[in-house]
Amino acid sequence: MHRRRRDTIGLMAVVFIATAWMVALRAQQPSSATVTGASASSSQQQRAVLNRYCISCHNQKLKTGGLALDALDVDNLGDHVVEWEKTVRKLRVRAMPPVAPGRPRPDEATYESLVSYLEKGLDREA
């Protein structure tokens, strides 16, 4: 009798943990509305991401790494293919922005949205 009860409690614990794990995973994944919004992101949204995370270093004054993203038009990626390809490579491996105390970094959904926007735009230009 006690063994059956213990087995039932153990099974309930496993189910509870599995459910909690699934809920946590779902919370980390973007909803279908977020994915749709990310794939249909406007250039203004992507410019805002660049302004927040990139422009403090990659501007016309500093030109860190020889790159001034504030001077590049996100609506016309074909005008600066080399620079945008370099940006995509750095973003794809999460090398930018660099990890530094007190400096913000995008979440995964933001990285994916920006990289997707840039890659699709560059593909259209090619």
For residue range 30-65, what is the model confidence (pLDDT) as tens digits?
Answer: 544 444 444 345 999 999 999 999 999 999 999 999
pLDDT digits (tens, 9 = 90+) for 108-123: 999 999 999 999 999 9
Q: Which residues contact 74 (CB under 8 A, 6 or more apart)?
A: 43, 46, 47, 50, 117, 121
Kindly give the residue spans of alpha helices, DSSP state H, lying in 40-107: 43-53, 81-92
Nearest CA among 70, 114, 67, 62 for reference residue 91:
114
Taking each helix axis from N to C end, the angle separating 81-92 and 108-125, rounded to the nearest 10 degrees, works out to: 150
Residue carrying structure tokens 């009798």: 1
pLDDT at 39: 39
